[in-house]
Structure 1
């Protein structure tokens, strides 16, 4: 090959390189920008999921606090009503306070059914049943038709033991939760 031919080939390669360089650069830039966009989308999706988890956790925590307070209040009102019954001082105000506590308890339980885990709902259901049984026993005692295990002392013992049951259940749930989130 002569010098002229080498010069023509070099010129063709040079011109082709000059003409193709912007196309290759643009494709490379497009690929890089696409990868950056995808990473940004993944980061935004991860942020959104994290925010959703935090919002759900806050909602669940608020619900658990309200449910805990409602269960405590209902139990205390049952004990207070039992005390009024024992002293013979049950009046419209005591009945209204018990009814309000019972309604608040039912509302809190209904809300918990929407956000609580199955394990928590099982415990809440058991505790609600125990409070419901205590309520029935108190009302039967008030009417003068107590159940066999519905004496004042029996009911008082159940209501006092109720919170120990609640604490044990809460501790076992907390242990299970820690194990689930610390193991792998």
Structure 2
């Protein structure tokens, strides 16, 4: 009986140790997986933050250059250089927007798409005015009013971006002076 007990004890002891080791291994795996998920979330947040910052900067530059171009149109002083500056800002905006679209949340993507539509329409109206073929509601003053609406739309988009990044309440900055 004593020998049998000794033999059974060693078998049970080995099984118990194996079970403890398996549970410990599973815990380590869960901890490693949780840490990996946290790192992925941090990386994703950093990518979104960078994308949103870049698209905001590109939007502001494009809007500013388009406003400047509208002023050149109004003054009758459009030069090839002025046109190239606005086109460069437009290309940059499209490039940065394409990158941001790959990382943006659905809510931000919706705002980006709407902003791009509005900005594209303002660009089109400005170019029609410059070419001497303005829309019926495409006067200098009416297009200039579009820029105020663009700024308001940008503030909304920025708020959605900030919420997506988990940033607290947004204090809006006053719109830049429009031409």
Fold match (TM-score > 0.5)? yes
Matched, 1:89 2:77: yes
Query: SS at the partner of 1:146?
Result: coil
RMSD: 1.7
2-structure distance, mates of 1:44, 1:133: 50
Q: Which has the larger displacement, 152-161 or 27-36?
A: 152-161
Query: Which TM-score applies when normalising by structure 2?
Result: 0.86
Higher relative contact order (CA 8 A, sep 6+): 2
The unaligned stretches of length 5 or more in structure 2 are 167-179
In structure 1, C-alpha distance between the alignment counterparts of 2:129 and 2:93, rounded to whole Å: 22
Give the length in aligned residue pairs.
Answer: 166
Return 5+ residue gaps in structure 1 as ranges. Answer: 1-12, 179-184
Contact between 2:105 and 2:164, CA under 8 Å: does it hold in 1?
no
Alignment of 1:72-151 (within 5 A): 72-151=60-139
Q: Specify which structure has the higher proportion of helix.
A: 1
1:113-168: CA deviation from partner (whole Å, max 9, x where unpaired):
21112221111111111111111111111111110111111111111221112213
Q: Which has the larger radius of gyration?
A: 1
The TM-score, its normalising length taken from structure 1, stands at 0.84
Confirm or deny that 1:156 pairs with 2:144: yes
Deviation >2 Å, runs of 4+: 168-178
